[in-house]
Chain A
Amino acid sequence: MKDAGVTSYRDLKNMIEKNREVIYSNDMEEQQETATTALHSSVDNITIHNPIVNLSITEDESKPSTSKQQIVHENIFDQLKGNNKHIFVLSTAGKPIYTRFGNENQMASLFGLMIALVSVTQDSNDTLQSICCGHTRIVFLNKDPIILVGVSQSAEPYDRIKKQLTYVYNNIISILTLTQLKKIFHNRNNFDLRRLMSGSERLIDKLISFTENDPGFYLDSISCLQMPSSNRDKITQTILTECSKIKNLVFGLLIAQKHIISIIRMKKYSLEVSDIHLILNLINSTESFKTAESWTPICLPAFDSSGFMHAHISYLAEDCQACLVLLTIDRDLFFLLSDAKRKITEKMRRNDCLQAINEAIVRQPLNLARANIVGLRHLLYKNKNRSQHWSPPFTSPYNTDTLQQNLMSVYCSLISQMNFPGRTLKVIYQQLTAETMLAWATDDVELYMCFEPLVSKECATNAITKLTQWMKKEEDSLFIFNIPMF
């Protein structure tokens, strides 16, 4: 089985750090990686010698004895009790790629079953989607050459789990590009993708946490940093004047933690929400960006899954923790962009933009109490045309994590009901034991409100009108209305 064939490639996995070379042999027994000669070659032409003929799953997996199998299953079950959501990623040949919890090496028999289920369905020209078992939901996402499986224990809507899997898939694409992924598995069906991915598991972990907590994920929208629109325009203009001259620059984003301050884009191109979420996750999960400006290849799956873009990522200044991301298709643009960023910072410092950003970051977020609507506790407001949302901070009685989580899952099930394929709805009014929920959708707005449980229907109806009027006044500072092109 041992094979002397050697492959080397530019390591994509740690693109956050400087590209470093990794050496491995394509030895079938993964534990025994023997280091051999390293050859430099570009990502685009991975050369694999003597590809090993695929082994079927049954041959590939060592068959554990029944009792051992039992123990492994017990373990997975125990882990799941503690962890509400499990996510597995594997290749269509049954090789583990990622698991959220536990050690994927112990799950060979489970992965074997997953592959078998998927392929049997495929044989009849169909695609396996989900299994329901009490409160347990098992969702499959078949993205040949990889398969993603999500298991939730809390009766979550299928579409949400499926979207989470899509996000994980997108993250993998953002590291490798789809073209590359296909090529790798085309050349060697039982390739162990973990070799290319080590280091990015953490990114996926963080992304999954993001999908569990962030209303932006539920609503397919982004959240903007609240600031007076005049300040925002000034900032956007500063970035735009510096960037519009640079050839091949496609997008520019200014980010403060989870919020977007400003976006600029090249004519005819627009940035999809799911791609922005990936960028936000990358930035918020990587501490090293704060210390040094970085040059990172990244593939934006919704924009173009076939190729890399290159991102210049840097925080504006020591005294202004906003992160500027400049995306280009030209891999040699680092110094030009670095220069542009320096100029942008200088200019922003001169015209007080840095100060405006800092003020906006430290300012107390807009509180719902300001709207003064009787009985209203919390809400999610989505501007559909702009794909942007606003949600006030949680206030009493949602003081604990559990209560906030519960409310978020109520929102989540409402959102999924409102947008269910084949039966989209306009209004849902739901009186539950702990709160009264109202979901309301028009062509431009999606609104999810949480009231006290005994609020009257009249009161709830009036709240919509009142809130809509109030939002008219506030929305200038809450949303980005001006996304200039160059």
Chain B
Amino acid sequence: MPTEVIVQNLYIFNSKLSKTEEDGANKILFYYPAYEDENKKVLNVGHIEAVIYFTTNFNKNQSCESLRTEKTLQVLYNPEPDFWIIITLSAQCKTKQNLSASSDEPVYCTYNLQEPIYLAILKHWYHTFQMTVGNMTKLMIENDADHLRVMLNKFYNKYLQSTDVSSQTFMDMFQGISFLPLENVIHLYAQSFLNAIENTFQQVDFSMLLYNDSLVWSGLNKRQTQLVYSYILMWVLPEIIRDENVVKGNSVQKLLPNQLVGRFITNIWAIKTDSWSCDLGKVPVLWLRNNNDDTFKSYRLVIYKAHHSILCMFIKMDNPLTADLYNSLDQFLGTKLHLLSEKIKNSVEKSLSSKSYTDRPAKFVYFNAMNLAIKNSIKSSHTTSITNKYSEFNLSPEALRILVDISSQHSCLHPTSSTMIKTSNDNWVAGRLCNSREIYIVLNQKLTKLCDVDLEIQNLCTQELGTIFFYD
């Protein structure tokens, strides 16, 4: 039975912003949908505040995570003291019967809504906000609540527009990074190239290299890499694909008519951009957390593309982006990056052709929490999907939900475990967790014996993840 998920609202508030009963609306920092009745907004926030207060009676150390009613699921996230982000979802079953008789009361199937999926979105969005705009508490101290409201509005409206929260599934939970598997030599070559950039240009503090949508190397720590990577995937790659002009005909291009091989990519979406050098095209300003003292520092993100490779350079704020800098960067990078990219291409094609893939009626997701790497055959990346043929079958929503169940059970109860499940439609769903590495598999085969299923899973692991050890 298909389930229709609807995002009813998403709001952010800080209770400290309202002093009296009358100014309840003051604590609301962001509210979607904006057209909601003002009283209703205040009422909803008040209700959640009561719930949060109520739960402290029973658990002081952990904050309230979710609230279920017959018709809705509300997921709560408390990223900074006194700041709460809430999302409310509802789910209705679409049966054939009530399609014909639409006047009937809708049938709710809230049990199909799973907290971990939506909590992952709230967290990911918040961290992205922190990176692209800043810390909420700090923004409020340095400016005022209204400034924070404007920023939150810009950010969350954009993300709500571009992401269909209601269709998020198991696959969206990890926000993992797809690493490009490369020969050692090429990998070292890429790494030394990035080091050379950082050495030649003192302005560049960190750099990161992508080949198509896979990560080759990043000088940032894993969390930062994850955030920047997903930012690039969300805002930069689609722009490049949709409109080559972004690359070709922008203002930097006019300034640097000599760009032959590579291009600077500017004017991509960002809340905070480099305002003073508009004529050179806007580049995003990002806040990156310092590993050592946990402080945030802002950087300009300059993106350069050659062949299939995208190079991200983080430049300190005190170094102005001048036409000179652009020019010398272009001259240094252009040919070298193009050559590197071609080498990568050859290497990838070689390794793909050397591997023989047996066609298996199976899908898998591998996630490594140590480096946030993700590898999967469900949402395949552009690079590898060209030659990698997996048998096509659609994962049922049911199987995806079981995967969420397995993963949340793993994380909260058992650090090392293995689970195999036979669903009501005779598919097998399996999950294994060991050393922070997780693998999830869905088999579309009518197998009856546990040992056959196990064998099938082992074969798949050997083929796809040969060197990784799994407890079984």
Contacts and interface: CB of A to CB of B under 8 A. Distances in A.
B394 to A, nearest CB: 16
Given A129-B70, A136-B59, A432-B414, A114 B422 contact: no
Contacts of A135: 59, 62, 412
A413 B401 CA distance: 16
B275 interface: no
Interface string A317-347: 0000000000000000000000000000000
Given A73-B56, A420-B111, A134 B65 contact: yes
Contacts of B57: 73, 76-77, 110
Contacts of B454: 457
Nearest to A86: B58
Contacts of A80: 58
A333 to B, nearest CB: 43
Contacts of A120: 43, 47, 50
Contacts of A456: 451
Contacts of B421: 425, 427-429
Contacts of B70: 126-127, 129
Nearest to A130: B68
A135 B64 CA distance: 10
Nearest to A410: B413
The interface size bin for chain B is 35 or more
Contact of B53 (A86, A113, A126): A113
Residue of A135, A422, A425, A433 ringed by the most chain B CB atoms within 10 A: A422
Interface residues of A, number: 49
Interface in B57-79: 57-72
Contacts of B409: 413
What is the interface of chain B mostly: helix, strand, loop, or mixed?
Answer: mixed
Contacts of B423: 423, 425-426
A157 B162 CA distance: 35
B388 interface: no
Contact of B112 (A116, A138, A422): A422
A103 interface: no
Interface in A115-161: 116-117, 120-121, 126-136, 138, 151, 153, 155, 158
Contacts of A138: 54-55, 58
Given A113-B53, A116-B50, A432 B111 contact: no
B336 to A, nearest CB: 50
A423 B401 contact: yes
B63 A155 contact: no
B420 A427 contact: yes
A134 B66 CA distance: 9
B63 A133 contact: yes
A461 interface: yes
A287 interface: no
Given A429-B420, A430-B418, A131 B66 contact: yes
A41 interface: no
B426 interface: yes
B212 interface: no
B4 interface: no
Interface string B392-411: 00000010011001000100
Given A133-B55, A133-B65, A427-B421, A433 B414 contact: yes
B411 to A, nearest CB: 12
Given A432-B414, A458-B451, A461-B450, A426 B426 contact: yes
B436 interface: no
Contact of A129 (B51, B69, B405): B69
A421 interface: yes
B239 interface: no
B464 interface: no
Contacts of B418: 430-431
A461 B472 contact: no
Contacts of B69: 121, 126-129
B198 interface: no
Nearest to A431: B418
A165 to B, nearest CB: 15
B444 interface: no
A68 B274 CA distance: 54
Contact of B449 (A86, A128, A433, A461): A461
Nearest to B1: A422
Contact of A133 (B47, B64, B450): B64
B424 A424 contact: yes
Nearest to A464: B450
B259 interface: no
A75 to B, nearest CB: 10
Interface string B418-451: 1111111010000000000000000000000111
Nearest to A116: B50
Interface of A: 73, 76-77, 80, 86, 110, 113-114, 116-117, 120-121, 126-136, 138, 151, 153, 155, 158, 413, 417, 420-433, 456-458, 460-461
Given A120-B47, A131-B68, A427-B420, 18 more contacts: A80-B58, A117-B47, A120-B43, A126-B70, A127-B70, A128-B69, A130-B68, A131-B55, A133-B62, A135-B412, A417-B405, A423-B398, A423-B423, A425-B424, A427-B421, A428-B421, A430-B417, A458-B451
13 contacts: A80-B58, A86-B58, A126-B70, A127-B70, A129-B70, A129-B110, A132-B68, A133-B64, A421-B111, A426-B422, A426-B423, A428-B419, A458-B450
Interface of B: 43, 47, 50-51, 53-72, 109-112, 115, 398, 401-402, 405, 409, 412-424, 426, 449-451, 453-454, 471-472
